[in-house]
């Protein structure tokens, strides 16, 4: 799997006066992907990114707490999965 180096966003407007956002991603292997999305889609994606980033930090905190209790890694995985599935 390639690692992302950057995701760049640029606002724009077309000749009809409609807004768009240009999204450009760079990967460590040099692959560049560019596309355009409407602002509402970008807002929805941004909220998803924030939510997933918070969930990842909660998963890591849960993992560390369970490991401090010297419980098996398998149990940590089960607990994290259960918590993840209960998130809205």
What digits encode the pLDDT tens for the residues 27-81? 888 889 999 999 999 999 999 999 999 999 999 999 999 989 999 888 888 999 9
With a cut of 90, say whether residue 12 has pLDDT above it: yes
pLDDT at 48: 96
pTM for the model stands at 0.75
pLDDT at 15: 97
Cβ 2 vs Cβ 27: under 8 Å = yes
Domain residue spans of the chain: 1-37, 52-88
Mark 44-65 as b/e (b = at least 16 C-beta within 10 Å). eeeeeeeeeeeeeeebeeeeee
Counting Cα atoms < 13 Å in the Cβ hemisphere of 39 gives 7
pLDDT at 34: 94
């Amino acid at each position: 799997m390639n690692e992302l180096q950057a995701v760049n966003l640029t606002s724009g407007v077309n000749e009809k006066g409609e807004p768009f956002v240009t999204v450009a991603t760079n990967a460590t292997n040099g692959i560049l992907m560019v596309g355009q999305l409407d602002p509402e889609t970008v807002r929805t994606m941004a909220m998803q990114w924030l939510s997933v980033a918070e969930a990842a930090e909660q998963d890591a905190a849960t993992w560390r707490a369970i490991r401090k209790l010297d419980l098996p890694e398998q149990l940590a995985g089960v607990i994290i999965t259960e918590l993840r599935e209960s998130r809205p």
